[in-house]
Structure 1
């Protein structure tokens, strides 16, 4: 969630109280000195202090001493997330299930700055040294990268299984409330601005099905299949499908849904690492929302696996979140890495295409960016969480429910501001003479 700006340079604009080094600062003044003046939001704190306009629509309320420690020991997104998830920091004017509008106002206002030595000394004197001693983070937080080696090397099978368990095995019931009946945790495709989430998810599967040129009797491999949405969509249309997911809860839910729909003769979902799929000769391979977990350095092996599972002339579709450029580090920021997708990595669509081309034997046919649709998808997931807030809190706890509201609303802002994108990359497996047998122009409906 890259919604707040961060600056590594000192600012010449300090809070008015920072100039009087002999006076202790209030908590609101400390916060103001860290984020700059001219606030359009309201800041209040448990010591009774405040800053910013009194009539502001949105604000931050620091409720506890523990929240102060979180903010001081991890300045920026991570400290804010710790204080918010633990309930020590409130977003005023927002429902915790959908804090989008408040976050958007805060993202425009907060620019974390490194205090001058004089201001830092005054902050330390005002707070007391005890607030600079790190404390245990909320239980929802994953270990930092450097402490995950007990789970294996980054993107090893054991560690991948652990991080997938962390995010996806929260509670199938919780996911049903947030995702809706489709149980689809990937970007939908809205045929129009008024379409429902369910219509948009069905439309997404329809588009992928058509891009892959699937027809009754074909064989599809869907890796990272989640709760089996694509698996069941294709099976209903006579396609034989194998899906694979590292989440035990997803696999159990998907297998039961396959049985309930009478699709067992055509479809199965395995609780399995995709690399353990040995079958070959598939007419198509789809990867919908898995690439983010693979690791950029593993792309050659990842795309080689998919190529080797296809027959000549078979189709490959890769659907994943991307960055708008190809040069920056792929690693996620602290908040996303600790609270959402541990070990997740993103890169630009250009790097994805080049890595796919470089393995040989595959031709990229088409790519498109549908990032606006993901902002709309997240909007609808937040709306679902608000509608089921009490049940969600009872199921997973207040902290986890607050985390999901924060994460989805923050990511919505990211897609709206082109901080992240969502790309489809479509390719085909060539014969040994470099030929394909595809139509001259796109054969699917947008």
Structure 2
């Protein structure tokens, strides 16, 4: 006699979880009084979960509409993901039970169904399509994530249109206040002065460029690989009357020809360039600075240097940041030092990024219908999982966010640097 899907669930996960499961065969499992429920609406949902146990199978079935989550906000499933990451562990059934479980699931359910259109190929297949972090693949990866639509980002990011970690000055600061405070912190670390020249690589919608020009009196050039971002930034700069000193170009940072900048800011770009390219990356930025100039590198990091930089096959790699690579801050500081920078200061803002992602998730939840109308239901679902999961990851110290300040020292070793900098 075969087992129902509900019975298989109880065999593998038990009945103590705050989770209930209902299935298309009429069965149920788990805890009937649980606040959350998973509904397998059809056989394909089971096939997704059987052929990719864990997060990837759940995501596939969820995006295709074959699996429904009840008691969960699709725009902000933080509590459900917290449960999933904490308690959702497979029990080890007795070996004698495995044949019955496999028979109950059915041999045809071990065949992979069609994948969602939004899923990127596995890393080995992308390797066949060209060298990772070549100019073409970098541009394709950036377009995949950032060219959803400017309207979608406006709904999620708010007035600042800033898609990087904010820095909250107080517990009750708003998202926009925290983003302005982050830009101000970067400007102070770079010691920007009126009349200086700033290069902002990976500038997004131009938030750093506008802040530095408006509040610190510099002339700033920003570059981005997203045409949508560049178009939006150019319009905003003109609207603010800053176009005499501010410019955003649709350009690969490696194609910037100007040099002798007083400062370079890199806010959220290092994650996309690949660890093996760090030497060339920091060498290029070093060459763009005058002696005494400063670089502020702001990027997501890992809490160690042992974990592989490239996470293969998971949700983030397949659905959010294809080809993205993270490593520990020690690797970044070493690469900067090896290319000539004196590392002056580093700071971990991971708690701030947990708050930032939570704020974005709240905005997605608040504007859910508009986001679905703009980007489509599968993309909106991806963003709900991504933002809530990222907030959880930063809160749990699974990932971090570091700002590293480096300086290009003159040949005589003398640098224009205060004994006690004011930004601390």
RMSD after superposition: 1.6
Aligned with residue 313 of structure 1, among 292, 301, 306:
292
How far did 1:70 drift? 1.0
Q: Which residue in the other structure is 2:143 paired with? A: 165
Superposed, which structure 2 residues align to 1:16-415 within 5 Å? Answer: 23-35=1-13, 38-112=16-90, 118-149=96-127, 151-237=129-215, 238-333=217-312, 334-359=314-339, 361-415=340-394
- Deviation by residue 1:35-67 (Cα, 9 ceiling, x = unmatched): 455323222222222222221112322222211
Aligned equivalents of 2:171, 2:38: Cα separation in 1: 32
More deviation, 133-142/369-378: 133-142
More deviation, 100-109/185-194: 100-109
- Deviation by residue 1:63-121 (Cα, 9 ceiling, x = unmatched): 22211111111111111111122222222211100111121122222124676665443
Aligned with residue 400 of structure 2, among 421, 432, 437:
421
Aligned equivalents of 2:32, 2:174: Cα separation in 1: 38
Aligned equivalents of 2:402, 2:251: Cα separation in 1: 25
1:260–1:103 CA distance, 2 compared to 1 (3 A): same
How far did 1:25 drift? 2.0
Contact 2:9–2:30 at 8 Å: present in 1 too?
A: no
Listed as ranges, the gaps of 5+ residues in structure 2 are none
Contact 2:201–2:223 at 8 Å: present in 1 too?
A: yes
- SS of the residue aligned with 1:59? strand
Aligned with residue 413 of structure 2, among 409, 426, 434:
434
Contact 2:154–2:161 at 8 Å: present in 1 too?
A: yes
- SS of the residue aligned with 1:313? strand
Aligned length: 422
| TM-score of the two chains, using structure 1 as the length reference | 0.91
- SS of the residue aligned with 1:43? strand
Listed as ranges, the gaps of 5+ residues in structure 1 are 1-22
1:33–1:253 CA distance, 2 compared to 1 (3 A): farther
Aligned equivalents of 1:356, 1:36: Cα separation in 2: 50
Aligned equivalents of 2:12, 2:345: Cα separation in 1: 46
- Deviation by residue 1:135-183 (Cα, 9 ceiling, x = unmatched): 2211111111122246421000000000111000011111110011111
- Deviation by residue 1:339-394 (Cα, 9 ceiling, x = unmatched): 000011111111111111112x2100000101001111111111111111111111
1:259–1:120 CA distance, 2 compared to 1 (3 A): farther
Aligned equivalents of 1:342, 1:109: Cα separation in 2: 28
Contact 1:91–1:99 at 8 Å: present in 2 too?
A: no
Aligned equivalents of 1:117, 1:164: Cα separation in 2: 46
- SS of the residue aligned with 1:104? helix
- SS of the residue aligned with 2:292? strand
Aligned equivalents of 2:208, 2:226: Cα separation in 1: 16
